Structure 1
Amino acid sequence: MHSTRLNDPFSIALQAQPASLLPIGLPGLIDFRYYIASIVSIFLALTVGIVLGISLLQGPALTTTQDLTAQLATTKEELRTRNKALERLQAENDAFIASIAPERVAEVLAGERVLVVEAPGANPAESQAIQKALIQAGAVYAGRAALANAYVDRQHLDELDKLVNKLMPDDLSINPAASTYEKSAMLLGSTLMTSDSAQAGTRNEDTLTVLDEFERAGLLSIDGEPGKRATIAVMIAPEDPFEGEGAEARASALVSLAAGMDAVSRGTVLAGGDTSTLPGGLIAALRAKDETVKHVTTIDTADTPLGYITVVYALREQLNGRAGQYGTGTGASSFPLATTYATASPSR
């Protein structure tokens, strides 16, 4: 066997190699150590690069950040100061306008009977301020009709339709293709409004029970004597725009009511704040109706003292047979207070 091992080619080849070239360990162990050394070298290089980068850039970057922060703080303080000054100026302007309002609107609506209609979500404080301005203008305050959320809720549409069909007088001419809200607008309009000054302050016998039935159904509430018909009306828009599914339909229902009241009266004004001109807002919805804007006036600054005066003059303009869109929102123009109350009131 000894002679066989010496004659084995593999053994002879090993014996022929120098001792320095013989492997010390397994080849796999050599590869693993090489990979470990490579990975350590890579991370070491990254660490050194990050440390050097931070060291080199820390000074300029920190200085730039500090300068920017100081500049922003200064700008913020300047804007806060300007904002406070503008708020004081606005408060002074509002106080001055409120002080001259009684004189400015005196007798502008003398002899006219006016109704206030609050849409669901209307601001009561805004409604009361406009009511005060109307009385200062010499108008007779007929009362207030506040619509409930149920009136514009699609879930109550069938109930409203049945109620309208039940209460609709036979002699009230209605387009057969009219929607439920359009029919309701004509019914409520005939109950609350009249274009005949001789009928102002009297009840419509044909629609005598309409308000009672609508109240009983939870669709509106009344204050004063709105059943004794008025010649002009102010609808107070919701403070917040309608949102979500059915928002457009709810706004459209109120636009129909404003248009219906205007059609059977001597004039209707839709008043609200600037939020009512946003998407989903009632004023925005009405201004999008090309035909309605020819007849119904809108004011989107009616939550300010100047807006209260504008409402009065807008009603005067309605009595003179004209309509306009006033305020600061989309589709509005400035209001010519000095020229509106110039002519007598023609019959609409």
Structure 2
Amino acid sequence: MIDFRYHLVSLISVFLALAIGIVLGAGPLQNSLGTALNDQVTSLRENRNETQVQLEQTAAAVNDRDAYITAAAGAYLPGVLDGKKAALVLMPDAEDDDLDAVAAQIQTAGGTVTGRVSLTDVWSDASRDAFRQTYSEQLAGYLDSEASSNANKVLGQGLGTALTSGSDSARTLMDLLTATETPLVSVDAKPGGLADMIVVIGPRGTGATAESRDDVDASASPAQSAASWVDALTGTASAASTVVVGAADAETDVVAALRADKAPVTTIDSVGQAAAAVSTPLALASTASGAKGDYGFDKGADAVVPPIPK
């Protein structure tokens, strides 16, 4: 009987509590609970609207800034690269729009774009280390002086020589770089003459883009890949005046990696922004005169913009 009474009292207590909750919810507490929920929804909606307005204002400010930078460039860029010819080199995952923006500013500065080539993942594929080593030994025989025993530096030197030298050796170097079923270089627009300088356009970032690609070699870490590109571009810069325009948001972004390595290569960060495109002709002129620099807004930059010739 004690157990039965105990369970009976427990059940009565439970149902009594439920009944009280229903009565209070439908009566005295109904308005306060409803009002609290409505207030929260209204507050969230207002925050969302405020955030949207702020985003729109920020986007408008960025567009206005870029328009101002581009307009100002029309005043001080003309003549900076008069008579100079530049070859454009596109790294994997770099965007065509960024290359087009740089090309437009080179032309504004009086320069000419002689051609465009794209680099393939073979430069950084860890599974192709042995291939690059063997191939670099073959290319070395066509270089006037081998700048390094590092395979990627030799290959990069070969690229710089192939784009800026008119020798028979240079033509052979380009043939070698574009040969095989998995070439190091593909020609997008055949160079219409020799270049005086080279602009390398890197990707905007190495994060999710690289991870989402099916053709990225899983054995190569982002740091290993970045190191391969540092060596290659250092080799290119040893053979010709070279400016690398890319990202420096993460340590493995090409510009950040070049700066961390203190590579003797001129860099511009914030690729994709008007400031980077406008800075490129100025950086080319400065580099051609023998002054290497790092320009932009991110870590490692020496100045926001390269020096403007007087």
> TM range, normalised to the smaller chain?
0.7 to 0.9
Q: Does 1:189 align with 2:160?
A: yes
Q: TM-score, normalised by structure 2?
A: 0.81
Q: Who is 2:246 aligned against?
A: 272
1:306 to 264, 275, 283: 275
Q: Which moved more, 1:122-131 or 1:166-175?
A: 166-175
For 1:280 and 1:110, the matched residues in 2 are separated by 35
CA contact (8 A) 2:136 2:152 kept: no
Tell whether the 8 Å contact from 1:233 to 1:268 is kept in structure 2 after alignment: yes
Aligned residue number for residue 148 of structure 1: 120
Could you tell me which of 184, 192, 201 is aligned with 1:236? 201
SS at match of 2:199: strand
Q: Which residue of 2 aligns with 1:77?
A: 49
Opposite residue 172 of structure 1, the aligned amino acid is S
The verdict on how the C-alpha distance between 1:146 and 1:63 changes in structure 2, with shifts beyond 3 A counting, is same
CA contact (8 A) 2:153 2:236 kept: no
Question: Separation in 2 of the partners of 1:226 and 1:260?
Answer: 20
1:219 aligns with 2:192: no
Residue aligning to 1:341? 309
CA distance in 2, matches of 1:34, 1:81: 65
Report sequence identity in percent.
22
Mapping for residues 137-216 of structure 1, pairs under 5 Å: 137-169=109-141, 172-176=145-149, 178=150, 180-193=151-164, 202-216=165-179
Within the candidate set 43, 47, 50, 2:14 is matched to: 43
Structure 2 residue identity aligned to 1:303: G
Conserved? CA contact 1:169–1:207, under 8 Å? no
Structure 1 residues 334 and 57 mapped into 2: Cα distance closer, same or farther (>3 Å)? Answer: farther
The code of the aligned residue for 1:132 comes to: A
C-alpha separation in 1, matches of 2:302 and 2:192: 34
TM-score (norm 1): 0.73
Unaligned 5+ segments in structure 1 are: 1-29, 194-201, 343-348
Q: What do residues 51-95 of structure 1 show as CA deviations (whole Å, max 9, x unaligned)?
A: 477466544343233223223322322332333233334334433
Larger radius of gyration: 1
Provide the rounded CA distance (Å) in 2 between the counterparts of 1:168 and 1:320: 27
Q: CA offset at residue 119 of structure 1?
A: 0.4
Which residue of the other structure, out of 37, 40, 53, is the alignment partner of 1:68? Answer: 40
Residue identity opposite 2:146 in structure 1: S
**TM-aligned CA distance change 1:69 to 1:147, over 3 Å:** same
Aligned mates of 2:244, 2:305 — CA distance in 1: 18
Contact 2:153 2:233 in 1 (8 A): no
Whether 1:258 and 2:233 are equivalent positions in the alignment is: yes
The alignment yields a C-alpha RMSD, in angstroms, of 2.9
CA distance in 2, matches of 1:298, 1:167: 26
2:187 partner SS: strand
Instruction: Give the whole-Å Cα distance in 2 for the aligned partners of 1:207 and 1:186.
Output: 11
Aligned residue-pair number: 296
The amino acid across from 2:284 in the alignment is L
**1:87-144, CA deviations, whole angstroms, 9 ceiling, x for partnerless residues?**
3343344334434434321111223332211101110111122112112212232321
